Chain A
Amino acid sequence: MKRVVLQLLRRPATATAAGFVLAIGVIAVLAPALAPYDPLTQDYARTLEGPSADHLLGTDYLGRDVLSRLVFGARVAAQASLQTVSIALLIGVPLGLIAGYRSGWWDRVMMRLLDVADAIPGLVLAFAVIAVLGTGLTNAMIAVSIIFSMNFMRLSRALALGERERLYVDAARTSGLTQRNILLRQILPNMAAPLIVQSTIFMGTALLIEAALSFLGLGLETGSASWGGMLSGSTRWQFQQPFLPWPPGLAITLTVLAFNVLGDGVRDVLAGGTRDRTPRRRPRVRARRAAAQPSLAQLPDDDVPLDVRGLSVAFPGEDGDVEVVSEVSIRVRRGEALGLVGESGSGKTMTGRAVLGILPAGGAVTAGSIHVDGAQIVGRDEAALNDVRGSRVAMVFQDPMVALSPVHTIGRQVGQAVRNHAPTLSRADVRRRCVELLEMVRIADPEARLGDYPHQFSGGMAQRIVIALALASNPSVLIADEPTTALDVTTQQEILDMLTDLKQRLGTAIVLITHDLGVVADACDRAAVMYAGQVVEEAAVDDLFAAPRHPYTRALLAAMPTGAGGDDRLPTIPGRVPPMTALAPGCRFAPRCAVRTDACDAAPVELGAGVRCLHAGAAWQAGDAAHERRSQVQ
């Protein structure tokens, strides 16, 4: 709570708005002491005056002091906004909470009620209430409270429905916690943020409605001082005294604005405040050493469509740049599949995305080179990259159910992939090619399915379509980022078989990014193991699995349950993957390593002969036992 308040005050706009609202509150409380005149005293000798030393904001058509009326008007404003919103919260939130949590008939009744409320706009409902109960601020505010409470009810219902699906509610139920406890102590606090935001917005809306009703002569009695009443009263005289509407008009506008800014601030802070604060600074680019390396003279190598050298990727952080990929070098040949293996945070995905030049906002390649079909990717502009993407290198993502636009047909999206690099193709040709692509990824009855939408396909089928999109223009390189992680194992097997088949038939070079060593063993020819942004070991898969050389690779392999024995404990890796801001000075794996020596901490360890370890030989021997245990099973 304290943290939230501090964060709020650190935002200049929010702090100003909070100060303004607070000031209005103080003025409302201290009005009698602050106002220079009685707000109701009339002085017919001095009507419609402009600002003067006597009357700082002038006088109105009855000679009343505008400043004093403005100060007393803050009372009405504070009362109107606080009363309506708190009453509405008290009525709306419990009803919505119960409707959302319990569902069933209670929810249906509430929903029908909301349907009715939907059909009658707020102001019209206020008119009806005033028609029945008579004019006056209280009646108007009753009407506004009703409208607001309906809104709060809808919001709370939606929020409660969402929270109910979260597992912590199920856990609370299985703990035997009472329904009261679950509703009030578990769910309600999690609904607070959006409710607070909505409340601040409604406080502003209440002022606007009060002003509108006063303007129509349906609000407060004309004598008493309210901003809305002052504004509407002054409009009749604005041609004689044009200054008159400005003080109340600005008071209303600024107060509503302050409420809204405050609400926006609360929402942004509680949401993590990242949306609008994407860092504009790009990470500092180190000298692109690799670009000048003489070895590049050997390029272009037709057989190596993807050649990444010394690639580093960084994001701007709180204290300087954070490097998430450090000097990664990989080469993939035609028709070869390279597995890029690692746990979350190892930098494997960022490596893949750097190849296509689609790093998330803020990220940048800070060193190294990426050559696709002999052409440098790093440093090219968006238009040049678009020529390469899809035609020479393409990417497939983890979750196929969100990787396609849900509101466009499959034909449309596959067609887009075809047209991107063949803009002159006729409609019929595009369609023919789409059918061909869907046939290639084994979608049954492709002609008929072009008109279908993504949600009409299963996860496995959707992933086939994404692969069809990626292969539409015959790229030399395909980056597949955890393409089967979201799928069932039987579906995974079909997708991996298909990728292997396409690799052999089309000669595509594949980079398969995965955390699953089983997938690597199945679908890859070589593998690079990544840890904390670095490649720690690279080898042909047969060698990697038969004789892992890096202690991390060995530990990962050992940690996989392989059916060796029921009651065995699994070997584990102590600790966890370090955050990229707190890496060990020497070998990055050293703090978790079983064969660590002092030399490991002395200096960063270089990649030599395919492994980044000072004890590669020793590690190999220690790994032997674990490996033998496994091979006995087969």
Chain B
Amino acid sequence: MLGRLVGLRLLGVVPQLALVSALVFALTYLVPGSPAAVLLGSRATPEGIAALEARLGLDRPVWVQFQDWVSGVARGDLGTSWYGGREVTDVIGQHLLPTVCLIVGGTIVAVTLGLSAGVLAALRQGGIVDRVVGVITAAGIAVPSFWLGLLLLSLFAVQLGWLPVLSWTPPDRDLGAWARGLVLPSLAAGAAGAAIIARHSRSAMLEALEAPYVQTLRAIGTPRRTIVLRYAIKNAMTPILTVVAFQVSTLIAASFVIEQVFTMPGIGSELINAVARKDIPVVQGITLVVALAVIVIYLVADIGYAIVNPRARPQ
């Protein structure tokens, strides 16, 4: 049954991927004027532009370029940077690990903190815990994540000295330092997600606890603990999963910003450099990889959704 679901969803992913890659490819052509002219800046001469276009392959028909690009992507070749001629796949590959670590760390923070705070607040609706969670989540959503990162850094690393200022140590060099270094960035990256997940799981839990089937369970003498742990949470998972998937996908972008705060050598800095100097192939490559990751996240969420909710399974 799940196999059928995965199959159906994968079929749906194909047109989505095609459209995304077409859009990403089109970026080059959305640049006002010729990209070559932009690259050359004030030194641009018509001859220079023509020569550069020929070198970058921009003088060929659009259709041919697209075919090239798509077949390249299919082979795992994302083209070469306009600056320094590095392979885009190499650029991504060399910087992937810190980013992935940060995203996974942020996800763990967002999901564990968010879920437990939300569920707890719902169970103590109107009580002290509920109010404290309410205030913290409201603030968590409103604080710019990079500022939170800086505050955490100056408090825990600079003033208290509990955690290292330098956040990235490769795990193969020193596993302990690697883990300690990831604590603050993960907190900063996951805070906003945790706040939003907490709010949604609170209301999902409240809704689940007010549902008619809870009355049935109460009417047969089911203890409240059992109702909450065995029934309400599973029912609340359906709406929460959607929120979690969305938060994890926004966490990817948030991690790019957090990397800057903690000077981690991740994809983020490459992307931001590329954006600033209009290195379109690198922007395209990273955007495509991010899109792929997001699609996979939603796919996993959909499968989780079907596991939790029998009505979402294909008949």
Contacts and interface: CB of A to CB of B under 8 A. Distances in A.
A touches B in complex, CB < 8 A: yes
Interface of A: 112-113, 115-116, 118-124, 127-128, 130-135, 204, 208, 211-212, 215-218, 228, 231-232, 235, 238-239, 242, 245, 249, 252-254, 256-257, 260-261, 275-276, 278, 280, 356, 358, 382-383, 385-391, 394-395, 397, 399, 402-408, 413, 416-417, 420-421, 453, 455, 466, 469-470, 472-473
A116 B23 contact: yes
Contact of B220 (A212, A245, A417): A417
Contact of B280 (A115, A131, A280, A407): A131
6 contacts: A118-B298, A121-B250, A121-B253, A131-B278, A208-B144, A249-B147
A280 B125 CA distance: 11
B129 interface: no
Contacts of A128: 24, 27, 275, 283, 287
B272 interface: yes
Contacts, number: 226
A421 to B, nearest CB: 6
Of A215, A257, A275, A390, chain B has the most CB atoms within 10 Å of the CB of: A215
A217 B145 CA distance: 16
Interface of B: 15-16, 19-20, 23-24, 27, 30-32, 125-126, 138-139, 141-147, 150, 154, 158, 206, 211-213, 215-224, 226, 230-231, 234-235, 237-238, 249-250, 252-254, 256-257, 260, 271-272, 274-276, 278-280, 283, 286-287, 290-291, 294-295, 298, 308-311
B219 A394 contact: yes
Given A120-B290, A124-B253, A358 B278 contact: no
A249 B260 CA distance: 18
Nearest to B268: A216
A403 B212 contact: yes
A462 to B, nearest CB: 11
Given A119-B16, A407-B238, A455-B310, A394 B252 contact: no
Nearest to A399: B212
Given A397-B212, A466-B216, A406 B287 contact: no
Contact of A231 (B23, B147, B253): B147
B219 A120 contact: no
Contacts of B254: 123
Contacts of B30: 132-133
A416 B30 CA distance: 61
B154 A242 contact: yes
A264 B139 CA distance: 14
Contacts of B212: 397, 399, 402-403
A405 B213 contact: yes
A389 B253 CA distance: 52
Nearest to B297: A119
Contact of B253 (A118, A123, A135, A211): A123
A228 B145 CA distance: 12
A268 B246 CA distance: 24
Nearest to A217: B276
B226 A416 contact: yes
A212 B144 contact: yes
A121 B294 contact: yes
Contacts of B295: 119
B218 A356 contact: yes
Given A115-B19, A455-B310, A394 B144 contact: no
A6 to B, nearest CB: 24
Contacts of B308: 407
Contacts of B138: 257, 260-261
A233 to B, nearest CB: 12
Contacts of B125: 276, 278
A119 B21 CA distance: 11
Given A216-B260, A391-B221, A407-B309, 8 more contacts: A112-B19, A128-B283, A235-B147, A253-B139, A256-B142, A386-B223, A388-B221, A394-B220
Contact of B218 (A113, A122, A204, A389): A389
B196 to A, nearest CB: 10
A470 B220 contact: yes
Of B145, B221, B253, chain A has the most CB atoms within 10 Å of the CB of: B221
A260 to B, nearest CB: 6
A397 B287 contact: no
A404 B290 CA distance: 41
A275 B204 CA distance: 12
Contact of A116 (B19, B154, B234, B298): B19
Across the A-B interface, give the 4 residue pairs with the lowest CB-CB distance, nearest first. Answer: A390-B221, A123-B253, A389-B221, A390-B220
Contacts of B279: 131
A211 B254 CA distance: 12
A115 B17 CA distance: 9
A368 B126 CA distance: 30
Contacts of A404: 213, 216
B144 A249 contact: yes
Nearest to A235: B150
B211 A278 contact: no
Contacts of A394: 219-220
Contacts of A127: 256, 271-272, 275, 283, 287
Contacts of A135: 276
Nearest to A129: B30
A211 B144 contact: yes
A278 B15 CA distance: 48
A130 B221 contact: no
Contacts of A356: 218-219
Nearest to A257: B142
Contacts of A249: 143-144, 147
Nearest to B254: A123
Contacts of B23: 116
Contacts of B126: 276, 278, 280
A212 B145 contact: yes
Contacts of A217: 272, 276
B154 to A, nearest CB: 7
A519 to B, nearest CB: 21
A128 to B, nearest CB: 6
B310 A406 contact: yes
A415 B221 CA distance: 13
Given A253-B142, A278-B126, A390 B283 contact: no
B219 A402 contact: no
Nearest to A213: B257
Of B27, B147, B224, B256, chain A has the most CB atoms within 10 Å of the CB of: B147
A256 B139 CA distance: 9
A204 B143 CA distance: 10
B219 A395 contact: yes
